[in-house]
Amino acid sequence: MSYTPPPPGAYQPDNVPTQEKPRRRPGTGMLIAGLILIGVSILGGIIAVVAFSVSSFSKLEDFASSTHSIDQHVTVDGLGDNQWFIYQDPNVMTGASCTVVDEQGNDVTTQSADLDMTLNDLSFQAIQTFESTAGGVYDISCTDYPVILGGSLPLGGLFGAGISVFVAGLLFLVGAVLTIIGLVRRSKSKRQQYPPYGGNSYPGYGPGQQPYYPGPPA
């Protein structure tokens, strides 16, 4: 009887050890998440600052081009359907008060909220506000001059930038905390994976100890 060997690669012994897949060390996920959050916060903060600078410059230019200096009693028209503010420069004068009378003889001014801004070495402090209508004619007179007639101060960009910086800072803080926790957990797992020298001991003996067997008597 002849023996036919199995074809190459067909025989698979049962006792061949399988190679275990390397496990990810504890804390790796938190470390990666923390680094991602830190990167996103830095990138988002840079984008927010650049966007705020461009937007603010454009809004300030629009505001400056829409202001009108009033040095005496004037009659104005063509203001459109808009809300207008009357500003004074607190560095020049304070306590000015104005009246804006429409064609029906009504004073349409109301007290303005506290709005202050400095632009090109000129300070703006809103003292009164009124709403105009398309085709309306208005008489503006004040107790002191000069005053400035203009639109609302471009403060929306400041609030948006503040919120963006706050969110970026919060993300950076969370990312830093996750990164620190991840590094600590990885460091602990590394120490547990590699015990100190002499860690293997005999049963009943401490690390580095072994039983003593006396030799034959001399």
Give the mean pLDDT of 179-192: 79
Are 98 and 134 in the same domain? yes
Which has the higher per-residue pLDDT, 208 or 183? 183
The confidence score (pLDDT) of residue 139 equals 94
Q: Is there a domain that residue 193 lies in?
A: no
Number of domains in the chain: 2
Q: Is there a domain that residue 119 lies in?
A: yes
Tokens of 85: 């503010």
Are 72 and 124 in the same domain? yes
Domain of residue 184 covers 26-65+154-188
Are 60 and 44 in the same domain? yes
Q: Is there a domain that residue 115 lies in?
A: yes
Q: How far apart are CA 53 and CA 191, in angstroms?
A: 49
Interval 76-86: pLDDT, tens: 988 889 889 99
Closest to 129 measured CA to CA, from 156, 97, 103: 97
The confidence score (pLDDT) of residue 138 equals 94
Are 77 and 137 in the same domain? yes
Q: Is there a domain that residue 96 lies in?
A: yes
The confidence score (pLDDT) of residue 141 equals 93
Final residue in a domain of this structure, among 120, 150, 180:
150
Are 144 and 77 in the same domain? yes
Give the mean pLDDT of 118-130: 78
At residue 180, what is the residue type? I
The confidence score (pLDDT) of residue 114 equals 66
pTM: 0.50
Are 81 and 146 in the same domain? yes
Are 170 and 101 in the same domain? no
The confidence score (pLDDT) of residue 68 equals 85
Are 58 and 84 in the same domain? no
Q: Is there a domain that residue 7 lies in?
A: no
Residue 34 near residue 182, CB atoms below 8 Å = yes
Are 111 and 38 in the same domain? no
Interval 130-170: pLDDT, tens: 999 988 999 999 998 989 898 877 666 666 667 777 888 88
Q: Is there a domain that residue 204 lies in?
A: no
Are 71 and 173 in the same domain? no
Are 145 and 169 in the same domain? no
The confidence score (pLDDT) of residue 130 equals 92
Final residue in a domain of this structure, among 150, 177, 210:
150
Are 104 and 139 in the same domain? yes
